[in-house]
Amino acid sequence: MKKEVPCTALDKAIRFILEHHGVIRTGVAIQAGIHPRIIYQLRDSGKLEQLTRGVYRLAENGSSSNPDLVAVAVKIPRAVVCLVSALAFHEITTQIPHRISISLPAGSKAPILDFPPIQAHKFSRVSYSAGIEEHQLDGVSIKIYSPEKTIADCFKFRNKIGMDIVLEALKLYRNRFKIDYNKLLEYGEICRVKKVMLPYLEAGL
């Protein structure tokens, strides 16, 4: 009778990481009985790629489409990608964000992340929870505001991000998506910028 080949600690670790869609936090691995030196050995051998401190992904899964968003989602599960970062995800801006903009509910503790650089914004409970979409990147669920909610948010933060970016986003949104005036106005109401948005929306009718 043929003997089974014993499963090494490295094999067990890789199997566990695969069960977590190829992305793992060191703390979760340790709780599962994987010794930190196994993680470091996999990293040093090139089998694991470090996304940020304490977050790794299997290199065999190919290049990550957006490792920064994956790292933020794993480290800060409540974060929702917003403003220019969300515009970039939806491809309705020509801007290249140098920081990941995220929203958190008002009253949340300020997150600490070594990398990637983030800019956290505190949204009211209603505004925070409105218009959230979940997208799968590298097996990780990423919370991102819908294009309509993002545009409303950008109108609200127009003095910080620049009105030129807001208007460009609205123009690209019209070209890329089937414009949904009801949703835009609904989120404009939530963000208290409906009156500001109306003239720009009516100009495109």
The answer to whether the bond into 116 is cis (omega within 30° of 0) is yes
Cβ(47)–Cβ(55) below 8 Å? no
Locate 11 and state its tokens. Answer: 């094999």
Cβ(68)–Cβ(86) below 8 Å? no
Domain with CATH 1.10.10 in the chain: 9-61
* CA atoms of 187 and 185, how far apart (whole Å): 5
Residue 118's H or E segment, with its range, is: strand 118-123
> What are residue 203's phi and psi, to 5 degrees?
-65, -20
> What are residue 43's phi and psi, to 5 degrees?
-65, -50
Span 9-61: which CATH code? 1.10.10
Strand partners, 140: 137
Return the closest-CA partner of residue 130 out of 90, 86, 183. 183
Quote the percentage of the chain above a pLDDT of 70.
91
Locate 100 and state its tokens. Answer: 């990941």
Mean pLDDT of 146-173: 96
Stated pTM of the model: 0.74
Site of tokens 């970016």: 165
* CA atoms of 95 and 33, how far apart (whole Å): 43
Mean pLDDT of 176-187: 93
**pLDDT tens-digit map of 90-141:** 999 999 888 999 999 988 887 877 778 889 999 999 999 999 999 987 777 8
Q: For residue 23, what pLDDT band results from cuts at 50, 70 and 90?
A: confident
**pLDDT tens-digit map of 36-69:** 788 878 888 777 777 767 777 777 765 556 778 8
Is the pLDDT assigned to residue 5 strictly greater than 70? no
